[in-house]
């Protein structure tokens, strides 16, 4: 099951208020090992964060490119079902097959929208982490 994922040792959570943001900021500060070259550590964290956002954005774009052909397919199903219904009864089987296709398509689109929402939540969470890093620096 696809779900929201955290970053490094920071668990995913939705940031709804200032207190939650401060807690996140403290966890972000905990990623740095004191005494070692902190500037390099911060840069490495920012690079990992950037790469994760780029990966999620790419996955989201791929999901969106899959949805467009499904919607076009959906429109062709409706059109062929109408034509089949208007023609005569021998098309009844085709209409039933098309209706099952519509139900399947709705299920796929609903699942795809859930996946997109999860990816958007992860991107938003990473943006909060990036803001926390910028505030710390």
pLDDT in tens, the chain (137 residues): 567 778 888 888 888 999 999 999 999 988 888 887 888 888 999 999 999 899 888 888 777 777 767 777 777 777 776 776 676 666 666 776 777 777 777 777 787 788 888 888 888 989 999 999 888 87
Task: Please give the Cα distance from 30 to 34 (Å, whole number).
Answer: 9
The pLDDT of residue 9 is 83
Domain range summary for the chain, segments of one domain joined by +? 66-137
DSSP state, residue 32: S
The pLDDT of residue 84 is 67
Task: Please give the Cα distance from 11 to 27 (Å, whole number).
Answer: 10
The pLDDT of residue 21 is 92
Q: Mention every residue, 6+ apart, whose C-beta is less than 8 A from residue 57.
A: 123
The pLDDT of residue 47 is 92
30 contacts 135 by C-beta, under 8 angstroms? no
The pLDDT of residue 90 is 62
Indicate yes or no: pTM above 0.75: no
The pLDDT of residue 91 is 63
Q: Distance between the two ends of the chain, CA-based, in angstroms?
A: 36
């Amino acid at each position: 099951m696809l779900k929201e994922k955290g970053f490094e040792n920071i668990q995913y959570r939705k940031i709804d208020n200032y207190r939650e943001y401060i807690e996140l900021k403290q966890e972000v500060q905990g990623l740095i090992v004191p005494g070692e070259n902190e500037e390099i550590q911060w840069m490495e964290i920012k690079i990992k964060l950037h790469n994760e956002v780029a990966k999620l954005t790419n996955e989201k774009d791929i999901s969106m490119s899959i949805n467009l052909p499904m919607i076009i397919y959906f429109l062709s199903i409706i059109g062929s079902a109408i034509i089949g219904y208007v023609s005569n009864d021998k098309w009844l089987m085709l209409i039933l097959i098309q209706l099952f296709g519509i139900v399947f398509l709705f299920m796929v689109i609903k699942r795809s929208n859930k996946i997109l929402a999860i990816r958007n939540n992860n991107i938003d969470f990473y943006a909060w982490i990036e803001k926390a890093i910028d505030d710390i620096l």
